[in-house]
């Protein structure tokens, strides 16, 4: 999810924590709330909060991952299940690359898919599966690009969309849709994996604890306990993270659902590519002593907060993606690492700047030839707008630092 408050997302560039401030609106997050471990400020309860409290009273504390699963995916109540997922600018909680420019982003992806279509021998149907497709903007943009550029490609293209909001869960391993549908040659997602529920671990006295959600005086609060599974306990060691040296209170998120997702997704692919775009890093860059509080972030009406226990079901909750985990698990599933790069370099390799120049000369020619006229002025402003959108998509301190992972099966 991308919101105004990009500085916090760019925490990785700084030491420790940069006080979250928005590069667009300059709003500072309320620092006093950042470490507030008990949700005391929000009344009345959301219906989902009530449901969670009752479950904890019945069954005992939940892992944070189970809490997050309920907050995002609980049928009828979860943030992604109620249609309240608000993506975009006005009245939304966050925006994505397709909101910044559906055409520039989709056109680059269109060129990428076209290259793969050629490489795979012009297969028909050329099935693309987009997971976590949201409003389908990317699919529309790619289909429009195909219609303009190559009608043969357009005719071959079969574009399937899945989203949890439509009941299609991208990490349910039980699904056997590989047999039910034509097999995809490309499975892609933009900002999907960051939404999967994460476990949270915290170091104390060189021991690793897990964070659970409990109820105290009728309110949700965090408590520490032993790791819920051996997999959680061993996760950081798998990536050789020297977490025992990071001091008391150091935190990290562990996304086991991402492993399940890549296993299932790899299973769906017989030949072709998996492309995942998201914010995050390789493990050694993600889990550092400087990022003491982890990367968990909540989004509500374009404001970043770090109060995941507030408003369950009404705000988005995300965490940066550990790309090493996807690469390693992909390899175990027989996939090869094709490319791991930044969104900036990936878009540049797919000609975003050349497209910009072409469009300046074609769509906005009047900004040069008739600059003194009203039409010339409008063209100039529209050109500035498009140029700004390309800059946002490739900004090395913002979306340009998103990672693009491409795995392939030959
Ligand atoms: C940040 S939005 C991105 C939407 C779109 N890809 C874009 O770039 O605009 C995340 C999307 O992933 C969907 N989603 C979250 N978890 C999912 C899951 N487990 N399976 C399928 N879709 C999921 C949400 O419903 C939401 O539409």
Residue of the nearest CA to atom 26 in ligand 1?
134
CA distance 29 to 220: 22
Ligand 1 atom showing the smallest separation from residue 133 Cα: 6
What separation in Å is there between the alpha carbon of 175 and the centre of ligand 1?
18
Report the top-level CATH class of 6-96+193-334: alpha beta
Please tell me if the CB atom of residue 79 comes closer than 6 angstroms to any atom of ligand 1: no
CA-based nearest residue to 186, from 125, 275, 79, 293: 275
What separation in Å is there between the alpha carbon of 362 and the centre of ligand 1?
35
CA distance 164 to 73: 8
Residue of the nearest CA to atom 10 in ligand 1?
192
CA distance 184 to 126: 7
Peptide bond into 125 cis (omega under 30): yes
pLDDT (tens digit, 9 = 90+) per residue, 226-248?
999 999 999 999 999 999 999 99
Ligand 1 atom showing the smallest separation from residue 257 Cα: 19
What separation in Å is there between the alpha carbon of 134 and the centre of ligand 1?
5
CA distance 148 to 150: 6
- Rounded to the nearest 5 percent, the helix, strand and coil shares of the chain are 40, 20, 35
Q: How far apart are the first and last CA of the chain?
A: 32
| Three-state DSSP state, 286 | helix
Distances (CA, A) of 227 to 234, 242, 266, 353: 9, 17, 28, 48
Residue of the nearest CA to atom 8 in ligand 1?
190
- Ligand 1 binding pocket mutation candidate from 73, 74, 80 (most atoms within 8 A of CB): 80
Please tell me if the CB atom of residue 130 comes closer than 6 angstroms to any atom of ligand 1: no
Model pLDDT, residue 92: 66
CA distance 73 to 75: 6
Please tell me if the CB atom of residue 343 comes closer than 6 angstroms to any atom of ligand 1: no
Residue of the nearest CA to atom 24 in ligand 1?
132
- What residues form DSSP beta bridges with 87? 94
pLDDT (tens digit, 9 = 90+) per residue, 367-381?
778 888 888 888 899
CB 126 within 8 A of CB 117: yes
CA distance 14 to 16: 6
CA 379 to chain centre: 34
Kindly tell me the sign of the dihedral angle through the C-alpha atoms of 223, 229, 232, 233: positive
Please tell me if the CB atom of residue 165 comes closer than 6 angstroms to any atom of ligand 1: yes
Q: Which alpha helices (DSSP H) does 45-192 contain, by range?
A: 47-59, 64-73, 97-100, 102-119, 137-149, 151-156, 177-180
CA distance 408 to 336: 5
Q: Where in the chain is the domain with CATH 3.40.50.12710?
A: 6-96+193-334
Residue of the nearest CA to atom 13 in ligand 1?
132
Please tell me if the CB atom of residue 195 comes closer than 6 angstroms to any atom of ligand 1: yes
Half-sphere exposure of 384 (CA within 13 A, CB side): 6
Residue of the nearest CA to atom 14 in ligand 1?
132
CA distance 79 to 165: 9
Going by their DSSP bridges, the two strands 126-131 and 186-190 should be labelled as parallel
Question: What are the residue ranges in the chain where pLDDT is below 50?
Answer: 2-42, 173-176, 178
Please tell me if the CB atom of residue 265 comes closer than 6 angstroms to any atom of ligand 1: no
Ligand 1 atom showing the smallest separation from residue 95 Cα: 9
CA distance 377 to 6: 31
- Ligand 1 binding pocket mutation candidate from 165, 195, 316, 393 (most atoms within 8 A of CB): 195
What separation in Å is there between the alpha carbon of 363 and the centre of ligand 1?
32
Ligand 1 atom showing the smallest separation from residue 99 Cα: 9
CA 40 to chain centre: 29
What separation in Å is there between the alpha carbon of 163 and the centre of ligand 1?
6
Please tell me if the CB atom of residue 102 comes closer than 6 angstroms to any atom of ligand 1: no
Residue whose entry in the numeric block shows the structure tokens 């005086």: 217
CA distance 61 to 52: 10
What separation in Å is there between the alpha carbon of 290 and the centre of ligand 1?
29
What separation in Å is there between the alpha carbon of 402 and the centre of ligand 1?
16
| DSSP label at residue 298 | E
What separation in Å is there between the alpha carbon of 368 and the centre of ligand 1?
41
Peptide bond into 44 cis (omega under 30): yes
CA distance 254 to 29: 25
């Amino acid at each position: 999810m991308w919101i105004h408050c990009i500085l916090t997302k760019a925490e990785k560039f700084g030491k420790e924590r940069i006080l979250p401030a928005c590069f667009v609106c300059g709003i500072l997050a309320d620092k006093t709330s950042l470490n507030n471990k008990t949700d005391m400020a929000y009344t009345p309860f959301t219906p989902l909060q009530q449901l969670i409290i009752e479950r904890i009273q019945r069954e005992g504390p939940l892992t944070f991952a189970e809490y997050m699963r309920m907050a995002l995916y609980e049928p009828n109540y979860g943030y992604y299940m109620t249609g309240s997922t608000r993506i975009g600018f006005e009245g939304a909680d966050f925006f994505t690359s397709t909101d910044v420019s559906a055409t520039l982003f989709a056109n680059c992806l269109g060129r990428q898919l076209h290259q793969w279509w050629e490489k795979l021998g012009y297969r028909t149907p050329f099935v693309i599966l987009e997971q976590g497709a949201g409003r389908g903007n990317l699919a529309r943009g790619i289909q429009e690009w195909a219609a303009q550029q190559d009608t043969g490609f357009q005719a071959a293209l079969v574009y399937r969309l899945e989203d949890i909001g439509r009941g299609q869960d991208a990490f349910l391993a039980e699904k056997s849709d590989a047999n039910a549908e034509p097999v995809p040659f490309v499975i892609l997602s933009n900002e999907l994996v960051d939404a999967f529920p994460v476990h949270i671990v915290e170091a104390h006295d060189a021991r690793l604890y897990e964070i659970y959600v409990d109820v105290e005086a009728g309110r949700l609060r965090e408590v520490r306990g032993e790791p819920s599974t051996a997999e959680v306990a061993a996760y950081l060691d798998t990536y050789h993270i020297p977490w025992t040296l990071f001091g008391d209170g150091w935190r990290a998120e562990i996304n086991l659902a991402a492993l399940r997702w890549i296993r299932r997704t790899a299973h769906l692919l017989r030949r072709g590519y998996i492309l995942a775009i998201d914010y995050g890093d390789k493990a050694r860059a993600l889990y550092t002593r400087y990022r003491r509080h982890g990367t968990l972030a909540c989004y509500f009406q374009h404001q970043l907060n770090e109060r995941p226990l507030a408003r369950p079901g009404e705000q988005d909750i995300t965490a940066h993606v550990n790309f090493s985990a996807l690469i390693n698990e992909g390899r175990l599933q027989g996939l090869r690492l094709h490319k791991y790069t930044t969104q900036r370099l990936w878009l540049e390799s797919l000609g975003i700047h050349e497209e910009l120049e072409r469009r300046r000369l074609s769509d906005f020619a009047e900004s040069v030839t008739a600059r003194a006229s009203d039409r010339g002025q409008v063209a100039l402003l529209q050109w500035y707008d498009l140029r700004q959108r390309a800059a946002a998509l490739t900004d090395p301190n913002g979306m340009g630092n998103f990672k693009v992972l491409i795995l392939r099966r030959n």
